[in-house]
Amino acid sequence: MTSATPSIFTRIVAREIPAEIVFENERIIAFKDIAPQAPVHVLVVPKTEAYENVAQLAAGDPALLAEVVAVAQQLASEHSTGEFRLVFNSGPSAGQTVFHVHAHVLSGPITEGSLGF
């Protein structure tokens, strides 16, 4: 799925596309989802485009994956009760539409059917 065109997330990191950024450090950016599926729905995105999905990230940079999870916990605590769902879609049939690894942090009441489960 790799493309020569930068992903939408790379374009957000470069500030080419606006986003409501809620966290940023040297390796990660997090911003509110434009189509939220829960009261708190934030995307936590490694700034590198090197990994398309969570399995690649786990194999290639487990420390970065651990940082993504830690940021997810921090954001759930800051923006909600601290309880959250952490969702990684891996592959088109699993709902992945942007092939730049990212985690969905969902917190607050989940509406029936909003996540397709």
- Cα 63 from Cα 106, distance rounded (Å): 22
Annotated catalytic residue 102:
yes
Q: How far is CA 77 from the centre of its chain?
A: 16
Nearest CA to 94 out of 110, 116, 111, 113 is that of: 116
List, in order, residues 6 or more apart from 19 with CB less than 8 Å away: 12, 31, 32
- Among 41, 79, 100, 102, the active-site one is 102
* Residues designated catalytic: 102
